[in-house]
Structure 1
Amino acid sequence: MIMNSTDTARRASAAAPAPAPAPAPKPVRTAAVRQADGMAVASFVFGLIGLLAMNLLLGPASIVLAALALRRGTSRPGRARLGLALGVADLVVLACLVSADQTWSWSIG
């Protein structure tokens, strides 16, 4: 049997393994994105703690940090939105306590 060059090339390409795909490049996280991620986490933590204590200070701080994190393009927008919601909830709790006790401070007992 006589083989021509196309048969040989076909057999060589069928026997050679396919090249491995190049690994996907890792996304580059700039310092601004890392800083925005930190703001999103801080907003969440401040909002959560603010529900229990110091809601006059931590509520607005949580709102400001969440807004800054969202504006700077955080990779954690859900956490920033949750911090924003908790900051607003802090202020609502504060308004309820002020209207119930007629004071900015509250105590148990």
Structure 2
Amino acid sequence: MELTAQATRRSAARDADGMAVASFILGLLGLLVLNVFLGPIAIALASVALWRGTARRGRAFLGLGLGVADLLVLVAFMQFDSTVSWNF
């Protein structure tokens, strides 16, 4: 019984670490393309990873910051173009 509980905790920690890395990658990618989708996803993944106690807190915080930056870039370009969307 104890062995399965340890395996479950290890699996949950690995999932939280994966979410932290995924939020960082999606936040970074969102600065270039699809920031309206990737920004909120990066924010959500980083928040869940931090809530679950990831060992990669730095990556989770970077993913959170990049997700917010994605949305700020979107708002800046929308103000610049006076449209709802932006492109290169």
Match of 2:47 in 1: 67
SS at match of 1:98: helix
- Deviation of 1:75 after TM superposition, in Å, equals 0.7
SS at match of 1:48: helix
Q: CA–CA distance in 1 between the matches of 2:57 and 2:35? A: 23
Is 1:83 the counterpart of 2:44 in the alignment?
Answer: no
Residue 23 of structure 2: which of 29, 43, 51 is its match?
43
- Deviation of 1:82 after TM superposition, in Å, equals 0.3
Q: CA–CA distance in 2 between the matches of 1:49 and 1:98? A: 19
Deviations 1:2-56 (A, max 9, x none): xxxxxxxxxxxxxxxxxxxxxxxxxx86111000000000000000000000000
Please identify which structure carries the higher helix content. Answer: 2
Match of 1:93 in 2: 73
- Deviation of 1:107 after TM superposition, in Å, equals 2.5
What stretches of structure 1 move > 6 A for 4+ residues in a row? none
Is 1:54 the counterpart of 2:34 in the alignment?
Answer: yes
SS at match of 1:30: helix
Provide the TM-score with structure 1 as the length reference: 0.71
Unaligned runs of 5+ in 1: 1-27
**Bigger-Rg structure (1/2):** 1
Letter in 2 for 1:50: G
Q: CA–CA distance in 2 between the matches of 1:43 and 1:85? A: 10
Identity %: 59
Note the aligned Cα RMSD (angstroms).
1.3
Unaligned runs of 5+ in 2: 1-6
